[in-house]
């Protein structure tokens, strides 16, 4: 019998599930990196990501492609902007997880799909459908409720949501020309000077540990931070090429759900009634957005003659 035909949707679901699962488990990984602090963790994450990418490019013979992209100023500087945004995202996220604010980080990624819709209006001048407007409006109410619940503006959640949302918009500008590995390599290369400065500042102010002095286990984990950073991004890119948008939209909720569970059950972060109300409102908004996405994706497309 002939071999069964490869199912791209099935493999895409597997890649996507693994990517979002790894992203969701990241808080646990960053917690075991102690006594390394958030600035030190992000710095090594950048440096070792570049090292991993260099090895991967060598294994896949991707250097000529990367050099060709680096010779195009538009692509090069667009990825510099993407690098800045993902740096803001990484730094905020690691700070949140290492300071006992995993739940607020999860909130950021729950809000992210709504932020993407909001950015579509502001940046791309897209017109929203009624349920999308309802989801945006409800999410604004949730932010107000959570501001009162936290006793402060939820800047961590909103920084994560907007930085990752803008990162996606910037990446889309060159998405058809830049593969995932080359893109991550160039972004990491732009950020290496920032990482070096961070390590110098941390080392001179005593704000972290000197690499290799906190034990073999800590050293290995810091090195593996590059792999932990790169692998989910490559899995995500593989999934995005194989799956319809609606599948990716549903899978993305896996990450904040896992983060929320870690924050509440593992870190034992307090969830006062007002915070529960705020999260429930966000989940209602996400429910409307998901329903609209599924309903719209099932409509037959009208093709021009």
% of the chain surpassing 90 pLDDT: 27
In a domain, 304, yes or no: no
Sorting pLDDT into bands at 50, 70 and 90, what band is 37?
Answer: confident
- Domain encompassing residue 179: 10-293
pLDDT at 246 over 70: no
Distance separating alpha carbons of residues 51 and 185, to the nearest angstrom = 9
pLDDT at 212: 56
Q: Rounded mean pLDDT of 176-181? A: 83
Q: How confident is the model at residue 6 (pLDDT cuts 50, 70, 90)?
A: low
Q: For position 33, what pLDDT does the model report?
A: 83
Cα 233 to Cα 164: distance, rounded to the nearest angstrom = 13
Q: Would you say residue 1 lies in a domain?
A: no
In a domain, 301, yes or no: no
* 166 belongs to a structural domain: yes
Average pLDDT, the chain: 83
In this structure, is residue 165 part of a structural domain?
yes
Residue 210 lies in a domain: yes
Q: 194-245: per-residue pLDDT in tens?
A: 999 998 888 787 666 656 566 677 788 888 888 888 888 888 877 877 777 6
Using CA of residue 172, residue 178, residue 181, residue 187, what is the dihedral sign?
A: negative
In a domain, 265, yes or no: yes
Predicted pLDDT at 160: 93
What pLDDT, on a 0 to 100 scale, did the predictor assign at position 229? 84
- CA pair distance 84, 246, nearest whole angstrom: 28
Q: What is the pTM of this model?
A: 0.83
Total domain count for the chain?
A: 1
3 domain-assigned: no
pLDDT, tens digit, 9 for 90 and up, residues 48-64: 999 999 999 999 999 99
The whole-number pLDDT of residue 191 equals 95
């Amino acid at each position: 019998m002939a071999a069964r035909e490869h199912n791209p949707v099935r493999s895409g679901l597997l890649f996507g599930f693994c990517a979002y699962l790894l992203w969701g488990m990241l808080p646990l990984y960053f917690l075991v990196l102690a006594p390394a602090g958030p600035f030190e963790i992000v710095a090594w994450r950048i440096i070792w990501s570049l090292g991993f990418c260099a090895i991967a490019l060598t294994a896949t013979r991707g250097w000529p492609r990367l050099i060709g992209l680096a010779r195009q100023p538009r692509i090069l500087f667009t990825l510099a902007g993407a690098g800045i945004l993902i740096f803001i995202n990484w730094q905020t996220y690691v700070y949140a997880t290492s300071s006992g604010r995993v739940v607020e980080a999860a909130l950021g990624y729950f809000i992210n799909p709504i932020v993407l819709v909001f950015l579509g209006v502001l940046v791309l001048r897209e017109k929203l459908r009624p349920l999308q407007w309802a989801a945006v409006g409800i999410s604004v109410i949730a932010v107000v409720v959570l501001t009162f619940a936290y006793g402060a503006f939820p800047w961590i959640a909103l920084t994560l949501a907007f930085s990752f949302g803008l990162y996606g918009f910037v990446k889309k500008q060159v998405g058809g020309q830049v593969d995932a590995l080359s893109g991550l390599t160039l972004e990491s290369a732009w950020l290496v000077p920032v990482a070096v400065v961070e390590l110098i500042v941390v080392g001179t102010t005593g704000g972290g540990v000197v690499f290799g002095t906190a034990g073999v286990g800590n050293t290995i984990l810091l090195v593996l931070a590059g792999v932990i950073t790169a692998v989910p991004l490559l899995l995500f890119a593989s999934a995005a090429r194989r799956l319809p948008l609606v599948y990716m939209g549903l899978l993305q909720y896996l990450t904040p759900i896992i983060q929320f569970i870690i924050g509440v059950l593992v870190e034992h972060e307090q969830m006062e009634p007002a915070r529960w109300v705020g999260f429930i409102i966000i989940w209602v908004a996400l429910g409307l957005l998901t329903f609209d996405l599924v309903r719209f994706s099932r409509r037959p497309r009208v093709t021009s003659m």
